[in-house]
Chain A
Amino acid sequence: MTQPPVVDVRSLHVRFGEVEAVAGIDLEAYAGQATALLGRNGAGKSTTMRVLAGVVPPTAGTVTVAGLDIRTDTVAVKQLTGYCPDVGGLVPRATPWEHLQLSARLRRLTGWEERARDLLERFELGDVMNRVTGGFSHGMGRRLSVVLAAMHEPRVLLLDEPFDGVDPIGVEATFEVIADARARGATILLSTHLRDLAVQACGTALVLRGGARVAAVDAEEMAGEEGARAYRALLD
């Protein structure tokens, strides 16, 4: 690669008290590429995503997004990222439209309404855009989280378990969002347990185990029966 990585993580450590959730992850992700984060529960995928989203500060190591240090330029990094968290991710008593308004106001967006409506329609959420999200099903919540992450066309799209409990139409719409983001040169990081979907959506796959990276391979190598065996071997 000749161009510098948009996301550059060096020796990232995150500790919560006695627990070390991330133990020295290195990660590079480039513009126009989608990278899958794979691994068992507790491997450190979601914590890494939270660090990149500026939600959890790193305990040690360096993390830069588009050349900005996440420790010192946290708000600027948040401006550049779009984040779909692994759990919920929605304010329970706000409507989807109010979520979008909040995001648009804080990011100083103008003329965002048409794109927002289009995304809501693509994810089949147009009918419920004025209903509070507390009454949403799990799948509806996941779909809206992807819409919120993608609406402002971020330079870095962080999708943590976006396919969890989502129906085929939602999965397809998420694929479209990822493809659109890649086409406009955004960097995508996708954390999921669904290996087949990760292989379809991403070009590179990083396998994490025990809070550290154990492999970085072309996503193709994780495809099919052969890929499943290779992945299984990396998890043990």
Chain B
Amino acid sequence: MPTALSSTDPDQAYDAPGRLAAARRSVVDVAILFRFRKQAVRRRHLARVLSLAFLAVTLGAAVVPAFLPGAHGAGRAFDILLLIPTLMAGILVLNIGSAIGSGGGRELISRDQAGPHPISPTTDHLGALVLAPLNIGWMIQAWVLLGSVSYSVMPGRLVQAQVTMILWILMGTALGQVVAWAVEALRRGPAGIVISRGMLVAAVLVAGAVQLTGHTARVLDRVPTVWFFAGGTSPPLTWRLWETVLVLLLGTVAAVVVGAVPAHVAARRMPRDEARMETDQHSPRPMPRSVLGILVRTDRASVWRSVPMRRGVLVLAVGPGLVALFGDLKWAQMTILPGLVASGGALLFGVNAWCLDGRGALWRENLPARATTLFDARTLVLAEFLGVASLITILVGALRAGVPDAQELAALVATLVVVTLQVVGAALRWSLAHPYPVDLRSARATPAPPAAMVGYSARLATSTTFTGLVFSGCAHVPDWRLSLIVGMPCVMWSATRLARTRRRWEDPVTRARVVSTVAA
């Protein structure tokens, strides 16, 4: 007698939920997954303090500039007022770029963990939206916009203007996600990689042509954000204001809903660059002569064969370089760039540097090599990765900057050395203190949980920006030796801290904790 279920048995058939029910279920799933992630937060007190700090800074940015001298006046405040639509457009562009760079936004739960669970692409899409603000770049953009509005818009219309700006930021984030999913779906389709790269090159060429032909101001004057800003600052309780708010609200909801469509298309397609990376043949190369040489080669392969790292470093190295090129940045201002690029580069893997070995960490730890040699190899590869990215940025930015003076060159070289050491030291310190088991296969993977990434990026951005500004000041002083004098103690301080981390890595108990964690 057959015991298997009959395919014709209506009671046993699986009833797929309708679209509305599926969407409702996805929203509930996002809440469940968010709570799951929240439970894994190790230092909850710190997380609470950081959340409160975020709210306090946001509130401060939205209110405090209104009380500063010169606010709402005809001078600088008016100049800033004119720039606000451009800032709004910049937020949209950065949101799109960030979401595309991370292959459709960050994962609320990693692909491997999500695998066995019935998590739909809609949940994935909504999760990426929830995580989008957990990014220091997103936060700084939001604070700058709110601060600019607060400083320049007259007090009677400030609240409505800020509400409009918040809605714009939300809509920009959701629109960024829609574009990113669409690009990801395209990338995964036939000839997708070639098409998406072609589109990127075309976009860069168009932006370059607009800038180099002097049409930037005209284009920026006509960006559609002018309509939203004018609406948000129109007289209170008028139809124009309500219309703006309504369009933003509807636009946000529409973007959130529409984003699920390309997310589903992308989910049905194989991530081509990952698949290619995992099936590529790498011809054997001659054996390096030294132990350090082969360790460096292995680590280098781990970095450059990873999709998120290749994609991330391309965006990081070329993006700021193009901004510097088209923005006609001077040499003295360019000292900001190495810090920005090195910080971003460290966030690709450096802040959890030992995760590069993945589950191979246990096998590697059994190899008869001195712990310090392993540390040196990882340090060199990280420094090389950050240094190369910064150099590319500077080279691209230098195309229109002319020949630098001796003091400008010295300031730039000193910045490059100091921030690279600063970032490498900090990244390896954190890697030792807070290792995470992470698989960096996916373009959406990050080396640490989102909240930790915010903390790392904030600390790196603060320290490297400060360093960049100090050396920018040095570049204006007509004596190249000043940069060396300022740079020397910075190098010694960072080198001492790096040496201390190296000594800690020699401790077998510390190493065992790190290795067991990243291999888990």
Contacts and interface: CB of A to CB of B under 8 A. Distances in A.
A56 interface: yes
Nearest to A74: B508
Nearest to B373: A106
A152 to B, nearest CB: 10
Contacts of B294: 101-102, 105-106
A211 interface: no
A57 B515 CA distance: 12
Interface in B458-473: none
B14 interface: no
B357 A105 contact: no
Contacts of B519: 85, 87-88
Contacts of B305: 93, 132
A132 B295 CA distance: 16
Contacts of A101: 284, 287, 294
Given A92-B439, A98-B282, A102-B294, A85 B362 contact: yes
Nearest to B363: A89
Contacts of B282: 95, 98, 130-132
Given A88-B362, A105-B291, A106-B291, A57 B509 contact: yes
Given A98-B301, A102-B298, A132-B277, A145 B283 contact: no
A90 B367 CA distance: 12
A57 B298 CA distance: 25
A236 B367 CA distance: 37
A135 B278 contact: yes
B306 interface: yes
A94 B291 CA distance: 16
Interface string A51-62: 001111100000
Contact of A105 (B277, B288, B509): B288
A159 to B, nearest CB: 12
Interface residues of A, number: 43
B364 interface: yes
Interface string B495-510: 0000000000000110
A230 interface: no
Interface string A89-130: 111111101110111111100000000000000000000001
Interface in B357-375: 357-360, 362-370
A75 interface: yes
A92 B441 contact: yes
A192 B367 CA distance: 23
A30 interface: no
Most B C-beta atoms less than 10 A away, residue of A54, A93, A94: A93
A131 B284 contact: no
Contacts of B360: 88-92, 94, 99, 133
Nearest to A59: B509
Interface in B379-421: none
Interface stretch (A31-39, A76-84, A199-207, A214-222): A76-84
Contact of B363 (A93, A130, A132, A148): A148
A55 B342 CA distance: 32
B512 interface: yes
Contact of A79 (B283, B365, B368, B439): B368
A22 B134 CA distance: 40
A50 interface: yes
Contacts of A78: 366-368
A130 B369 CA distance: 24
Interface string B258-287: 000000000000000001011111111001
A134 B512 CA distance: 23
Contacts of A76: 368
Given A55-B365, A57-B508, A83-B362, 10 more contacts: A53-B362, A55-B362, A85-B363, A85-B366, A85-B519, A88-B360, A90-B359, A92-B360, A131-B279, A131-B282
